[in-house]
Amino acid sequence: MNYQQLLDEAMEAARPVLGRGRVADYIPALASADPGAFGMALATVAGEVHGVGEWVRQFSVQSVSKLFTLALALAHGDGELWKRVGREPSGNPFNSLIQLETEHGIPRNPFINAGALVVTDALQTLTGDARGAVLDFLRAESGNPRVSIDDSVADSEAHHGHRNAALAHFIAHFGNLHNPVETVLEHYYAHCAMAASCRDLALVGTFLARHGLRADGTRLLSRSDAKRVNAVLLTCGTYDAAGEFAYRVGLPGKSGVGGGILAIVPGRGALCAWSPGLDAAGNSIGAMAALDAFTTRSDWSVF
């Protein structure tokens, strides 16, 4: 298969929508992003990497990091995790508070903010340094020591993070955080503020395409946990647009308000597309269009 040609075509297909949507200005440090910027990368399980556009430019990983915190918490053997967080789509925006009250502080799934706060708390308990664990993992799997945490983005979010603080306090009220709220928020903002490129994230994502095996061949997740993480990505990874994403792209995927979307093709590889212009659900319009075009023109889909 001519991957480079498919990527070129995917970028061309996305071009008419590039620049549409809004950047995530509720985090002031992200407000200056160019909504029309675009990059896309593909990494195969065999180690081939291809890219198009600004595919080696770093951007803010944001909620794509929630996939890595979940995998690491499961890898460190938190057998209790699924008692503290559900695995049903929420049908609500990623930062919504409303279900938490009726559902007694048990977030619907690990990919909305409430659920990711619980997973970050679990990882903090397991490792003593959640942000360090996620950063080390990204550097190791991408082979890129320049993957880093952008402290200015983390600080910017912390200073405007009233919703996340409210979510964390609410969860703590129900006894579902084991570390201090301030600690959980600090580590959550830090892993969201990682700066990495499409190339880096596509390479990192291949552990799920390899059914749980890391780049060095060691096992991170059991085959069945890798299957489960992919399944939850498919149903919950793009929030209340997960149905639309499954319909258009047909892959498990995780989006972030930095404009990145990482999608997994089990057994084959991973794709990461990036463009900062977001739709109303907080998913990148350009990235979604490019992934849609790529999977429509290739046989890279689970369906």
Choice from 58, 69, 90, 95 touching ligand GLN (CB under 6 A): 95
**CB nearer to ligand GLN: pick between 164 and 179:** 164
Concatenating the DSSP letter of every residue in 189-203 gives HHHHTEEE-HHHHHH
CA distance 73 to 121: 9
**CB nearer to ligand GLN: pick between 113 and 142:** 113
**CB nearer to ligand GLN: pick between 90 and 95:** 95
Residue of this chain nearest to ligand GLN (CB atom): 63
CA distance 48 to 21: 32
Choice from 51, 107, 205, 256 touching ligand GLN (CB under 6 A): 256
Concatenating the DSSP letter of every residue in 118-155 gives HHHHHHHHHHS-HHHHHHHHHHHHHT-TT-EE-HHHHH
DSSP letter at 269 equals E
Applying the rule CB under 6 A, the residues between 193 and 222 that interact with ligand GLN are none
Q: Per CB under 6 A, does 282 bind ligand GLN?
A: yes
CA angle 169, 126, 252 (to 5 degrees): 80
| Site string (44-83) toward ligand GLN, x via CB under 6 A | ------------------xx--------------------
All residues at 6 or more sequence positions from 121 whose CB lies less than 8 Å from its CB, including other chains: 177, 178, 179, 184
> How many residues of this chain interact with ligand GLN, rule: CB under 6 A?
11
Residues lying near ligand GLN in the complex (CB under 6 A) are found at: 62-63, 94-95, 113, 157, 164, 192, 256-257, 282
